[in-house]
Amino acid sequence: MKNKHMILIVLAALIISTLSCNFPKPTATQEVSGGQPTGIATSVLRPVGVWTPCSTGMNGGIVQSIAASPDYSNDQTVFAATMGAGIFKSIDGGGTWQAANNGMWIKQNTALVISPGFDTDHTIFAGGLHVGVMKSTDRGNSWLEASNGISVKHVNALSMSPQYPQDHTLFAGTAGGGIFKTVDSAASWVEVNSGVDNLNIIALAISPAYQADGTIFSVTSGGIFRSTDGGASWQSVNNGVNTTDVRSLAISPGFTDDHTLFAGSGGEGSFISRDGGNTWTQAGLSGMYISALLVSSNFITNHTIFASESSVGIFKSIDGGETWNRSDNGMADNDRQPMSLAAAPDGTLFAGLYGNGIYKSTDGGNSWSAANTGITNIYLYAIVSSPDFTTDQTLFAGSEYQGILRSRNAGQTWQRVNATVIRVKDLAISPAFAQDRTVLAATELSGVQKSTDGGDSWQAINAGLQSVQLTALAISPDFINDQTILAGSDRGNLYRSIDGGNTWLDLNAGLPVKMVRDLAFSPAYNQDHIIFTASYQGGVFISNDGGATWHDASATLPDLSVFSLSFSPDFAQDETVFVGIDYQGIYKSIDGGNTWNSSNAGFPYTNYYLLALSPTFASDQTLYAAFSDVYQSNNGGAAWSPLGTITWGRYVTALETSVDGLFLYAATDGEGLFCMKVK
């Protein structure tokens, strides 16, 4: 629960898949979407103990910046910077993407800038959190840090001289350290903050005639600044801008003659200056949060500019900002959260979204289509496997922005099955899934979502819920008979339904919990009626009567910030249950929760608090724990050791074992899903 292409197989593909696939390939009768899998090939498996990305089809992410090659018409190359999964590169105009992170030791990237001479010098720079500036001189195939002299390694913005191949000049804007400049292709940097009274730099824009006029603009948390001497000194230029919350800048390609630039604000719309920034006037989109601006390369003749509003979509003006019209046809409603805009020299447009990856337009913004394939900057919070996984190979995943996803081939490929909800925090699947096809999702904004057709369709079931900000969900092991479900919220609310979610009752009486993090039914619930609840700052509470009354079971725990719960499948006999505690690690009880003891031997530190138990724990005593990597214990938690070599750089948010115990799945907050054959 919480612990939490299709191709025909021919001989040549079978040989290749032996080397590249971590799972059995679907047979010719299995389907990626629609229908039911009818067979499982078991002969094509990778070795045990190898972590493999399992996010194909989980497309999207937080795309902070996009840069297209100046030679795009020939090389079709585009780069995208994501928050959590690093840099992605496409060499087919955004049709497909591959991670390009060799040497990128931290993958929280915020800015990209590409050399005007990219076709010959192959140079691109990336800025990011904690990493400063990274540089590639081989078209993004490898990266080296290039931050010598930058004192604050949180880079929000990069801007490059249009004559970079000759003058080697680049500017970097940081969060708290101000502006830095290099004139030696980032071999060294110097601080250039004279006159800047706010050192939180949000955006930079450089004059197309920088070599002649030395002009560059910066946006800070204190407004707009301008330098006309290559950054040696700066002056505030905010006359007419009625807010200091400026978020974006764009400069006319004809700036030398028209002196025009645009600014986007966080709530006051857009502004235009026609005198090089000396004065500004409102330019429409009043009341909107303009996260990005893009001026057409042919602005002098077509007067076109694009603006992205971070919660509405994309707007276009063809009269230099006098009037604006929506220009995001083709974007799904939940996808209209653009953060960044970029254009290729041929006019192809790219929009980077907050959560849903990249959209592309080839008709001047009149229509857009998703261009995400291969971008797996996915924030996952939950994964659950079918009780009939051995035959149906079905998994469900809950995400921050992509809604609910389903795989019918053990995680090889995924499909969005509910894109209308976001922030899916937990999932639960009926123990009788083969018969009732029931799946449930707890969401932070839309309450409980339910499917009774295996995930094909969903509906909200919230009658009686006082809060729809849910964080935890559990389904009775005897659900086919008792129809019992539990749901918990971040506000401490706990609810129970005994009619499959049609109605809900409040169970908070006598339960002073805060921020419900996990819920669990005893495997023998139909006999013992035992329920555990874990809460942040509230500890562990137990009910022996199906939730009617509760007692505190936290007396011997070192801290009350409990994140996860896992019962032994043989709880009725061994009375074993585990909890994961923030900064305290794993604790174990062998008396049904009355007392707890530390189970942290072998961990490098006690941050491991996500749990998954082997389905055959009673005999093999195997369980798994995760934080930023995954550990395994084969002796009931007495000792732990690392499980494989991780290939991700983000925190694990959920663990799940398949019902046959063969596969372990690790969901992450920004790099999608990883899987391992463990037996």
Q: Over the stretch 228-286, which tens digit does the pLDDT of each residue have?
A: 999 999 999 999 999 999 999 999 999 999 999 999 999 899 999 999 999 999 999 99
Query: What is the structure's pLDDT at 537?
Result: 86
Query: What is the structure's pLDDT at 46?
Result: 58
Give the pair of three-digit tokens for residue 36.
Answer: 């039911």
Question: For tokens 């496409």, what's the residue?
Answer: 90
Separation between Cα atoms, residue 87 and residue 98, nearest integer Å:
9
* Neighbouring-strand partners of residue 118: none
Query: What is the structure's pLDDT at 420?
Result: 84
Give the pair of three-digit tokens for residue 373.
Answer: 């394939």
Query: What is the structure's pLDDT at 331?
Result: 86
Separation between Cα atoms, residue 499 and residue 487, nearest integer Å:
13
**Per CATH, the architecture of 63-370 is what?**
7 Propeller (2.130)
Question: For tokens 């996009």, what's the residue?
Answer: 66
Domain coordinates in residue numbering, the chain? 63-370
The list of the chain residues with pLDDT below 50 reads: 1-45
HEC string of 374-428 equals CCECCEEEEEEECCCHHHHCCEEEEECCCCEEEECCCCCCCEEEECCCCCEEEEE
Cα radius of gyration rounded to whole Å, the chain: 27
Separation between Cα atoms, residue 290 and residue 316, nearest integer Å:
12
Q: Give φ, ψ of 528 to 5 degrees.
A: -100, -15
Name 516's Cβ contacts closer than 8 Å, sequence gap at least 6: 471, 472, 488, 489, 490, 492, 493, 494, 533, 534, 535
Query: What is the structure's pLDDT at 334?
Result: 66
Q: What is residue 41's three-state secondary structure?
A: coil
Order of strands across the sheet with 235-236? 201-206, 216-220, 223-227, 235-236
Query: What is the structure's pLDDT at 209?
Result: 95
In b/e form, how buried is each residue of 326-364, taking b as 16+ CB within 10 angstroms?
ebbeebeebbbbbbbbbbbeebbbbbbbbbbbbbbbbeb
Pick from 226, 235, 220: which is nearest to 266 by CA?
Answer: 220
Query: What is the structure's pLDDT at 587?
Result: 97
C-beta separation of 433 from 439 below 8 A: yes
* Neighbouring-strand partners of residue 340: 352
Query: What is the structure's pLDDT at 39?
Result: 41
